[in-house]
Amino acid sequence: MERHLDQQLETIRQDLLRMGGLVEGMILEANRALVERDETVVDAVLDQDREVDRLEMAIDDRCLQALVRNQPRAIDLRFLVAVMKIVNDLERMGDSAVNIVQSVHQLNQEPPLKPYIDLPDLSRLVRDMVRRSLDAFVRRDVAMAEAVCREDDEVDGRYKQLFRELLTYMMEDPRTVSRCLHLLLIARNLERIADHATNIAEDVIYYLEGRDVRHSLARAETPGEPPA
């Protein structure tokens, strides 16, 4: 039986996917800005961020309306609760992408420190997590969501590695400190995005199976400052 609620949920699903697509694009653009030292994307990313913010509020509003008008239960209720958390994570990812392009702008004031290899790799890994966390949502694929949660360990490992490498650069040549700090901030923002993707994957598992897996799946603690 097709329900009126189904149309409302479908609209929310479509909006969420649009928001997810925008955020993925922002992370991709931020990476291109870094690799190609391209300043022109900054404004585009800022524009996209405003659209992401708008969608966050619009989707939240639609969810609230669906809640208050339908008093949904079971999977419908879990869907709406999960979406309201997912849009929050997507919005934070967008902010991280903005932080990255702002760091790129600072980096571009000086000659490049070295060819970037590890950061674009990390960015690719993180984008993949974001894309698959959203795919798991669309395809209702719990196994995929669980895989995303496990990948967060890999990201954390790469971040620690980058941290040590940049620290070595800074100790060897203090003139690199400013650039190294911006590169570290970029890595940190990518690592944060991966955390948000993990949150999304956890929300997907909750939506599909009603299991709250936060703080229970085996993964390393979010790195604070790793040991030097």
Partner 1 sequence: MVVGEPRPAGADPVFDIRGLSLWYPGDKQALRDVSMRIPDKQITAFIGPSGCGKSTLIRCLNRLNDLIPGVRTEGDVLFEGASLFAPELDVYLLRKRIGMVFQKSNPFPKSIWDNVAYGCKLQGISGRAELDEIVERSLRGAALWDEVKDRLHDSALGLSGGQQQRLCIARTIAVEPEVILFDEPCSALDPIATAKIEELMQDLKTEYTQVIVTHNMQQASRVSDYTAFLYLGELVEFGATEKLFLNPEKQQTEDYITGRFG
- Least gap, CB of 205 to partner 1 (angstroms): 12
Contact flag: residue 71 with partner 1 (CB under 8 A): yes
Q: Which is nearer to partner 1, 73 or 215 (CB)?
A: 73
Q: Which is nearer to partner 1, 74 or 117 (CB)?
A: 74
The residue type found at 89 is D
Residue from 132, 122, 129, 149 nearest 206 by CA: 149
Q: Site size for partner 1, by CB under 8 A?
A: 13
Determine the Cα angle at 104 with ends 125 and 22, to 5°: 55
- Least gap, CB of 78 to partner 1 (angstroms): 7
- Least gap, CB of 146 to partner 1 (angstroms): 18
* CB of 182 closer than 8 Å to CB of 107: yes
Contact flag: residue 202 with partner 1 (CB under 8 A): no
Contact flag: residue 1 with partner 1 (CB under 8 A): yes
Contact flag: residue 77 with partner 1 (CB under 8 A): yes
- Least gap, CB of 144 to partner 1 (angstroms): 20
Contact flag: residue 72 with partner 1 (CB under 8 A): yes
- Token reading at 149: 């949660």
Contact flag: residue 78 with partner 1 (CB under 8 A): yes
- Token reading at 116: 């970037």
- Least gap, CB of 202 to partner 1 (angstroms): 15
Contact flag: residue 5 with partner 1 (CB under 8 A): yes
**Other C-beta atoms within 10 Å of 96: how many?**
23
> x/- binding map, residues 156-195, to partner 1, per CB under 8 A?
----------------------------------------
CA atoms of 39 and 26, how far apart (whole Å)? 14
Q: 């879990």: which residue's tokens?
A: 78
Q: 């360990």: which residue's tokens?
A: 153
CA atoms of 181 and 187, how far apart (whole Å)? 10
CA atoms of 228 and 225, how far apart (whole Å)? 8
- Least gap, CB of 79 to partner 1 (angstroms): 10
CA atoms of 128 and 70, how far apart (whole Å)? 35
Contact flag: residue 74 with partner 1 (CB under 8 A): yes
Figure out which of the listed residues 21, 112, 210, 226 binds partner 1, where binding follows CB under 8 A: 210
Helix (H) or strand (E) holding 134: helix 118-139
Contact flag: residue 73 with partner 1 (CB under 8 A): yes
Q: Among residue numbers 9 through 38, which ones bind partner 1 (CB under 8 A)?
A: none
Contacts of 156 (CB under 8 A, 6+ apart): 191, 194, 219, 220, 222, 223
Which positions touch partner 1 (CB under 8 A)?
1, 3, 5, 71-78, 209-210
